[in-house]
Structure 1
Amino acid sequence: MRFFHPDNRSRSDEHERIYAVYELWFTVVDVAAAVSFVVGSLLFFFESTTFAATWLFLLGSTCFALKPSIRLAREWRYWRMGKIDKLAERERG
């Protein structure tokens, strides 16, 4: 198994389920980042809300940093599943 190979998500029903769960989280983080930046941008129009806007930009940036971490976590989980499958095969054979 190779990291980030397109076939990883369809290796089994469990792989497809994992893919769906991680895609859901990826999308939630993506929307949170977008909302944070849009609202933060609007708040920068008013001097009185600049502090809140800055925090929203920090939150949006953090969300963007989470996105590759979510993908890496999914691939790591696939990799671990492959290792467990190989171990089970050795024990059987």
Structure 2
Amino acid sequence: MLFQTDHRQGSHDQRRLYALFEIFYTVIDFAAATLFIIGSFMFLSDDWMTPGTWCFIVGSFFFAAKPALRLVRELKLAALGDAEDLAKRFRS
């Protein structure tokens, strides 16, 4: 099932893929948060406002990458599963 939260019952490949994507997801979270914190401090000075703005812009792209990464992960996990199960899920 797409966006299934319990992947303990999946195959070895499914568990491995899920874990790998969770690592990527966490790295993106940390990168976005770090850029927003740095950008916030830069906004305290007029001289650093432009680089701070760029930190916010890049951090925003990281935040936007999170749902895209989640969708890719779920589609890859679905592709590893049984095609008949996948077809049943889309019919219901």
After TM superposition, is the score higher than 0.5?
A: yes
Question: Larger C-alpha radius of gyration, 1 or 2?
Answer: 1
C-alpha RMSD of the superposition:
1.8
- Show CA shifts across 1:29-76 (max 9, x none): 000000000000000000001110000000111111011111111100
Instruction: Find the aligned partners of 1:66 and 1:9 in 2 and give their Cα distance.
Output: 25
Give unmatched runs, 5+ long, in structure 1: 87-93
Instruction: Find the aligned partners of 2:2 and 2:84 in 1 and give their Cα distance.
Output: 16
Alignment length (residue pairs): 85
Give unmatched runs, 5+ long, in structure 2: 86-92
Alignment of 1:2-81 (within 5 A): 2-8=1-7, 10-81=9-80
- Show CA shifts across 1:7-47 (max 9, x none): 34531111110011000000000000000000000000000
Q: Identity percentage over the alignment?
A: 38
Q: Could you state the TM-score of these two structures normalised by the residue count of structure 2?
A: 0.84
User: Which structure shows the bigger proportion of residues in helix conformation?
Assistant: 1
Instruction: Find the aligned partners of 2:79 and 2:58 in 1 and give their Cα distance.
Output: 31
* Matched letter for residue 24 of structure 2: W
Instruction: Find the aligned partners of 1:85 and 1:25 in 2 and give their Cα distance.
Output: 29
